[in-house]
Amino acid sequence: MPEIVAAAFVNDAGDLVRGFNIQGTERTGDDSNFSVKVTLGPTPPLDQLYVMAALSDARVGFTVDLSQAGGAIAADLAVEADHTSGFYLTVYSAS
């Protein structure tokens, strides 16, 4: 059975509004590209994780990827060019 290991709500400024097992957020895009890196707290290994995201503005497309650097796992979310949207993020473990 999948288990939720992290969850976050990030507003359209890229700020963490509320979250569970989140170390922090960092806006990584420029004025034409809204992208945010959400660093997770302790989690199972990357190969056991799955991510799901939903935008506050459902009219635009986005991508979300999990990455690992220096032992920290992060979810990178990028919204279509010239759009901004808050988002909900959930990370599951399939262990």
**Under 8 Å between Cβ of 19 and 70:** no
Rounded to an integer, what distance in angstroms lies between the CA atom of residue 14 and that of residue 37? 9
Domain span at residue 23? 3-93
Task: Please provide residue 78's backbone torsions phi and psi, each rounded to the nearest 5 degrees.
Answer: -130, 130
User: Minimal CA–CA distance to 75: which of 63, 85, 83?
Assistant: 63
CA distance 43 to 60: 30
Reported pTM = 0.90
- Is residue 17 within 8 A of residue 9, CB to CB? The reply is yes
pLDDT in tens, the chain (95 residues): 889 999 999 999 999 999 999 999 999 987 778 999 999 999 999 999 999 999 988 888 999 999 998 889 999 999 998 888 999 999 999 86
pLDDT at 95: 67
Domain count, the chain: 1
